[in-house]
Amino acid sequence: LTLRIPGRDGIIIAWVSPDDELTQGLQPGAQLIARAPQPIAPTMPVTTTVTAVAMSELYQVLRGMDVTSPSSRAGETAIFMLRITKRDTESDGRIAIDLPHGCWAEPSSKVRLNAIGNERRMQRLILVHWSERMEAGIIQVPVRFERDLSSTSVNIRPPRKRITVPRIDGVTIDGDLSDWHKYAEIRLNGIEGNNVKNWDGEDDLSAEVWLAWSPRALYFAARITDDIHVNKFSGADIWRGDCIQIAFDALMDTLTGYDANDVEVGLALANDVAYVHQWYPQRRPCPQIKLCVQREGNITLYETAIPWELLRLRPAVGLRVAFSFTVNENDGKDFDGWLEWTPGICGKKDATSFGALVLE
């Protein structure tokens, strides 16, 4: 018989049998007050609702315990009687019954014991559903006492976006992207990651980006479709014009914002000159990065080599680096927003939102 108390899960308080000798009250004060006219299958427990005053709270923890069970058939349900004797010095924990694979218990194979009541002994019925795949024979069912351990909440986020980057012998940084189409590609078409005000389609702003690597550098190339190219800024302000911002979390260890091993740089055709600026970890021009930028009609071509020394990394097959980039927009008035592969650069610095590049 299972009672359901308001605010608590169902608790088995008695096993009611046609044989009075097997009828057992398992909670203090439990009494048999009525008998069902027909037998009730153990897989169909009776549930009723009572008020909280109908139950006494349990239990303190054990000094000795034993489990008894009748013979069982595979694929059927058996009743375990768990008898526990408390020890006053114990305070909290739970009894765990280790069932074979594929078997399950009702209401649970673990019984929590709270140091509330004054009873020295307690009993608990547990219904065990045996798997049909069990082999015939005698099995051991271990019963053990577990102390509660501390716990913490963990926020599991979706997996990072990922791009696999091929190894090559090297690239001549000259703005010729004719050979790049065979390498790893990312497309920004405005469907996702679009933070551009009054965006008017792919001809307004869109991007094709390719990545490759060698033992010397990480190579990045981009073909930007942009109807109007404007960047009249210099130094740390180039982000306000048309440009590309790229950021790395080399160790993938940032907890919030940026930390000391994160790197962010900007690539720009500013005032008709190719220019690279570093914002993190230091604000400065960055001549270590080779850059070529060409503007052809409504297309801007970027080709760059980022030395591994700048990222403080030793490249090797399988290396994973948190990475993202943005394509910034300015149609002549002011900064109009950006397209992004992932969040974390423009708007709010957050390296935990970056995707991952993996060297192959």
Residue with the bigger pLDDT between 42 and 323: it is 323
Least confident of 101-110, 189-198, 323-332, 337-346: 101-110
Beta-carbon count within 10 A of 304 CB: 23
Read off the pLDDT band of 296 (50, 70, 90).
very high
Tell me if 278 sits within 8 A of 285, measured CB to CB. Answer: yes
Q: 359 pLDDT exceeds 80?
A: yes
Diameter of the chain by CA atoms? 97
User: What domains can be seen in the chain, in order of their start residue?
Assistant: 2-146 (2.60.40), 162-359 (2.60.40.1190)
Tell me if 97 sits within 8 A of 67, measured CB to CB. Answer: yes
Count of CA atoms in the C-beta half-sphere (13 A) of 263? 21
Which two three-digit tokens encode residue 355?
């995707």
Q: 22 pLDDT exceeds 60?
A: no
Please report the pLDDT score of residue 271 as a whole number: 96
Least confident of 5-9, 84-88, 229-233, 266-270: 5-9
Query: How far is 203 from 189, CA to CA, in rounded Å?
Result: 9
Indicate the average pLDDT of the chain.
Answer: 80
Q: In sequence order, what are the residues at sequence separation of 6 or more whose Cβ sits closer than 8 angstroms to the Cβ of residue 126? A: 12, 79, 80, 82, 97, 105, 106, 107, 108, 109, 111
DSSP-based helix, strand, coil % in the chain, nearest 5: 5, 40, 50
Q: 180 pLDDT exceeds 70?
A: yes
Q: Is 302 in a helix, a strand, or coil?
A: strand
Least confident of 61-70, 87-96, 208-217: 61-70
Tell me if 340 sits within 8 A of 326, measured CB to CB. Answer: yes
Q: Which of 127, 136, 69 is nearest to 103 (CA)?
A: 127
Q: 115 pLDDT exceeds 50?
A: no
Residue with the bigger pLDDT between 85 and 99: it is 99
Please report the pLDDT score of residue 131 as a whole number: 87
Read off the pLDDT band of 81 (50, 70, 90).
confident
pLDDT tens string 191-229? 999 999 999 999 999 999 999 999 999 999 999 999 999
Please report the pLDDT score of residue 63 as a whole number: 37
Please report the pLDDT score of residue 244 as a whole number: 99
The predicted model scores a pTM of: 0.62
Least confident of 118-132, 159-173, 264-278: 118-132
Read off the pLDDT band of 92 (50, 70, 90).
low
Q: What is the dihedral of CA 149, 152, 157, 163, to 10 degrees?
A: -70
Tell me if 350 sits within 8 A of 343, measured CB to CB. Answer: yes
Q: Which of 334, 240, 310, 235 is nearest to 276 (CA)?
A: 235
Q: 319 pLDDT exceeds 80?
A: yes
Q: Is 227 in a helix, a strand, or coil?
A: coil
First vs last C-alpha separation in the chain: 62
Count of CA atoms in the C-beta half-sphere (13 A) of 5? 11
Query: How far is 266 from 243, CA to CA, in rounded Å?
Result: 7
**Average pLDDT for 39-50:** 35
Read off the pLDDT band of 91 (50, 70, 90).
low
